[in-house]
């Protein structure tokens, strides 16, 4: 009977459903989009190997305008890296890297038209970024020492420059300079819609000689021997870096120390604010929709006073009338909630399409959405239902 009553007033019911749907859509859509991004954070931000951290001038993730104090920090240069590598005793690996984007990459008559990441590194850089040499060899210490014109290619560059040839020992041109291919790395795929294989790695000394500028600042990658030694290694490296960079006792570090966990935590803090904002807006929208349900149900009670009188006259109890009108309000809320959830999940997963990451269906938020819709239906439908149940059958039959 409740469903039949909703069907008889299609326009009014549709407008009420729309209010609920928009409220649920807003929160489910945002939560789905954030959950989709968070599901890929582990693979997207989890860029460093286990038990490793990175020392750099700027934070990897920073919300808002960069602080002047951070901008004024001294660059991390190659001399600082060498001193840290010489003095640090606990790390099993101290590596260095820096990168930029280039366009002029050629092999014979073939050229890469899109931007390619040019990475300066040493023998440990490939390992720090969780990839391996699939063919050829890695950058060697002598390549770094003598700043040799050699390079290691990511698979995207191999696919474009050498679709039918073995790239090893071939000569390519980077910004008009000749480099010999000594190795190829394993294919890593995409993260956040961006390829992780579109790069060329060259010795860091060669990079600093030919591609650096006054803004170039290095990243120093450090790997601890084990998880047990991780904290001690961090403390040792921080102390040495403070000494090298002449940081005053008691002063803040003038460099950033980044780990996978810290980057994920920073990202989660940013998304947490978005979640709170979306939830606040959605609560307002749902309250407004609930008021609309109450208004519609009060109108429905007024229109059906004679029907209520007839039902009571033939034996319907107050509980029967209360249940009927309360179920109408709950059905309206649930139907609107289901539509909102479907729309929200569909819209939220546009993020997965844009960034080419796996889609997510937030079952927990869908259940929460339905539960909230039930509460709204009951909360805002109880008064109209109670009012209908309290009507006197004699007076209701006389109502015109």
Distance CA 385, CA 322 (A): 5
Comparison of pLDDT for 159 and 8, the residue scoring more: 159
Comparison of pLDDT for 343 and 78, the residue scoring more: 78
Comparison of pLDDT for 68 and 261, the residue scoring more: 68
Tell me which residue has tokens 């090893």: 168
Where in the chain are the domains? 2-43+265-398, 52-258
Classify residue 249 as left (phi > 0), alpha (psi -120 to 50) or beta. Answer: beta
Question: H/E element holding 388?
Answer: helix 363-389
Residues 94-112, mean pLDDT to the nearest whole number: 90
**Per-residue confidence (pLDDT) for residue 184, from 0 to 100:** 94
**Per-residue confidence (pLDDT) for residue 49, from 0 to 100:** 53
Comparison of pLDDT for 311 and 139, the residue scoring more: 139
pLDDT in tens, 217-259: 999 988 888 878 888 998 999 999 999 999 888 888 889 887 7
Q: Please, which pLDDT band fits residue 389 given cuts at 50, 70 and 90?
A: confident
Rg (CA), the chain: 32
Query: Which residues lie below 8 Å from residue 329, measured CB to CB, with a gap of 6+?
Result: 293, 297, 377, 378, 380, 381, 382, 384, 385
Rank 56-60, 180-184, 283-287 by mean pLDDT and report only the highest: 180-184
Rank 52-56, 93-97, 379-383 by mean pLDDT and report only the highest: 93-97
Residues 39-55, mean pLDDT to the nearest whole number: 63
Q: Is residue 215 over pLDDT 70?
A: yes
Comparison of pLDDT for 110 and 41, the residue scoring more: 110
Distance CA 258, CA 356 (A): 26
Residues 94-107, mean pLDDT to the nearest whole number: 90
Q: Is residue 157 over pLDDT 90?
A: yes
pTM, two decimal places: 0.62
Residues 341-347, mean pLDDT to the nearest whole number: 85
Q: Whose CA is closest to 175, among 123, 127, 111, 219?
A: 111
Largest Cα separation within the chain, whole Å, is 104
In the chain, % of residues over pLDDT 90: 28
**Per-residue confidence (pLDDT) for residue 209, from 0 to 100:** 94
391 neighbors 308 (Cβ within 8 angstroms): yes
Q: Is residue 264 over pLDDT 60?
A: no
Rank 127-131, 216-220, 332-336 by mean pLDDT and report only the highest: 216-220
Q: Whose CA is closest to 378, among 280, 294, 286?
A: 294
Average pLDDT for the chain: 82
**Per-residue confidence (pLDDT) for residue 46, from 0 to 100:** 45
β strands within 210-362, DSSP E: 219-223, 256-258
Q: Whose CA is closest to 181, among 197, 166, 192, 194?
A: 166
Q: Is residue 48 over pLDDT 70?
A: no
**Per-residue confidence (pLDDT) for residue 162, from 0 to 100:** 94
């Amino acid at each position: 009977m409740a469903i039949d009553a909703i069907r008889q007033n299609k326009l009014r019911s549709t407008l009420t459903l729309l209010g609920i749907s928009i409220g649920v859509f807003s929160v489910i859509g945002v939560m789905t989009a954030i959950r989709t991004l968070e599901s890929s954070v582990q693979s997207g931000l989890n860029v460093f190997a286990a038990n490793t951290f990175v020392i750099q001038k700027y934070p990897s993730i920073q919300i808002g305008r960069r602080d002047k104090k951070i901008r004024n920090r001294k660059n991390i240069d190659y001399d600082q890296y060498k001193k840290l590598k010489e003095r640090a005793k606990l790390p099993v690996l101290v590596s260095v890297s820096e990168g930029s984007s280039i366009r002029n990459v050629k092999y014979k008559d073939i050229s890469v038209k899109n931007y390619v990441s040019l990475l300066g590194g040493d023998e440990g850089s490939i390992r720090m970024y969780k990839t391996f040499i699939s063919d050829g060899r890695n950058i060697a210490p002598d390549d770094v020492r003598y700043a040799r014109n050699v390079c290691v290619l990511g698979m995207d560059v191999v696919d474009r420059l050498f679709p039918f040839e073995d790239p090893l020992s071939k000569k390519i041109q980077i910004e008009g300079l000749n480099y010999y291919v000594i190795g190829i790395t394993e294919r890593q795929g995409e993260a956040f819609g961006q390829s992780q294989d579109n790069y060329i790695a060259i010795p860091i000394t060669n990079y600093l000689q030919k591609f650096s500028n006054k803004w170039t600042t290095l990243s120093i990658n450090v790997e601890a021997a084990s998880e047990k030694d991780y904290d001690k290694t961090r403390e040792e490296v921080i102390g040495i870096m403070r000494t090298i960079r002449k940081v005053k006792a008691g002063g803040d570090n003038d460099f950033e120390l980044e780990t996978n966990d810290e980057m994920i935590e920073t990202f989660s803090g940013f998304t947490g604010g978005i979640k709170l904002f979306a939830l606040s807006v959605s609560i307002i929208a749902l309250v407004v929709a609930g008021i609309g349900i109450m208004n519609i149900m009060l109108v429905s009670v007024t229109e059906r006073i004679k029907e209520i009188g007839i039902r009571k006259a033939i034996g319907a109890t107050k509980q029967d009338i209360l249940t009927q009108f309360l179920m109408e309000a709950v059905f309206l809320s649930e139907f609107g909630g289901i539509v909102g959830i479907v729309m929200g999940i569909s819209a939220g997963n546009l993020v997965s399409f844009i960034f080419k990451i796996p889609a997510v269906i937030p079952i927990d938020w869908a259940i929460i959405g339905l539960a909230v819709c039930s509460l709204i239906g009951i909360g805002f439908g109880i008064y109209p239902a109670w009012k209908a149940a309290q009507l006197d059958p004699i007076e209701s039959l006389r109502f015109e």
